[in-house]
A and B are shown apart, each in its own frame.
Chain A
Amino acid sequence: MIRITKKLRTLSSLNLFFWSTLWLMVVLTIGTIEQKYIGLFESQKTYFTSLFFFYKGLPLPSGGSVILIMSLGLLSQLIFRTNYKSKRTLGITITHTGAILLLSGAMITRFFGEEGSVVIPEGSIVNYMQDYKTQDFVLKNEQNGQDIMILTADTISLKKDYLLSGLSLKFLKNIPNCIQTSNPDEKIRCIEIDIRSEKESGHFNISQDSTEAQVIKLDGKTYSAEIRPHRIPLPFSIKLLDFEKKFHQGTMLSKSFKSEVQVIDGSLISRHLIEMNSPLRYKGYTFYQSSFSENAQGEITELSVVKNAAQWFPYLSSIIICIGLLLHLLINSKKFKAHS
Chain B
Amino acid sequence: MKKYFLVLFLIVASLNSFAQSKTSEAELIPVMHEGRIKPLGSFARVKLNDYFGKKQFGEMNATDWLLEVFFNPKEAYTREIFKIQNPDVIQALALPSSRKYFSFLEMYQAFNKNHEMMNPLLSANESELDLTSKQIRELYMHFMDYLGLSRSFSFFSPEINVGEKHLSYFDLVASGKMIPKKLAEYMEEDAQFKTLMIIPPVDANSELWTSPWEAAIGKNLPALKKWHTLYQSYNEKKSEPKAALALQKAEFNQKFKVELLIKKYDLVSWSISLYVLGFLALSLHFLKPSNLPNSWARTVSFVSIAAGSVFHLSFILARCFILSRPPVTNLYESILFVGLTAVIFSLIFEVKKKNSLGLFIASTLGSSLLFLSIGYQQTGDNMGMLVAVLDTNFWLATHVVTISIGYGCTLVASMMAHYYLFTSRKSEASALKALEKNIHSTLLYSLFFVILGTILGGIWADQSWGRFWGWDPKENGALLICLWLLWITHGKLAGKFKMKSFAFVTGLSSIVVAMAWFGVNLLNVGLHSYGFSSDAARSLFIFSGVELILLAGLWLLAENKLPRNRKAV
Contacts and interface: CB of A to CB of B under 8 A. Distances in A.
B523 A35 contact: yes
B87 interface: no
B466 A279 contact: yes
Residue among B209, B455, B480 having the largest count of chain A Cβ atoms under 10 Å: B455
Contacts of A143: none
B441 A322 contact: no
A314 B462 contact: yes
Contacts of A102: 455
B444 A325 contact: yes
Interface residues of B, number: 61
A322 B388 contact: no
A329 B441 contact: yes
B444 A18 contact: no
Given A277-B464, A314-B468, A321-B451, A28 B441 contact: no
Nearest to A47: B471
B158 interface: no
A109 B525 contact: no
Contact of A277 (B384, B463, B470): B463
Contacts of B483: 21, 24-25, 28
Interface in B436-495: 437, 441, 444-445, 447-448, 451-452, 455-456, 458-459, 462-473, 476-477, 479-480, 483-484, 486-487, 490-491, 493-494
Given A25-B484, A29-B480, A329-B445, A35 B451 contact: no
A306 B441 CA distance: 40
Contacts of B525: 35-36, 40
A304 B466 contact: yes
Interface in B348-401: 384-389, 391-392, 395
Interface residues of A, number: 58
A68 B154 CA distance: 72
Interface string A318-335: 100110011011001100
Chain A interface SS verdict (over half): helix
B455 A321 contact: yes
A120 B49 CA distance: 46
Nearest to A91: B444
A48 interface: yes
A315 B387 contact: no
A110 B209 CA distance: 49
A248 B524 contact: no
Nearest to B495: A14
Interface string B62-101: 0000000000000000000000000000000000000000
Nearest to A276: B388
B441 A333 contact: yes
28 contacts: A17-B490, A18-B487, A18-B490, A21-B486, A25-B484, A28-B479, A28-B483, A35-B525, A36-B524, A40-B472, A40-B526, A44-B470, A48-B471, A106-B468, A109-B467, A248-B385, A249-B32, A250-B33, A250-B34, A250-B197, A255-B391, A279-B464, A288-B465, A288-B466, A318-B456, A322-B451, A333-B441, A336-B441
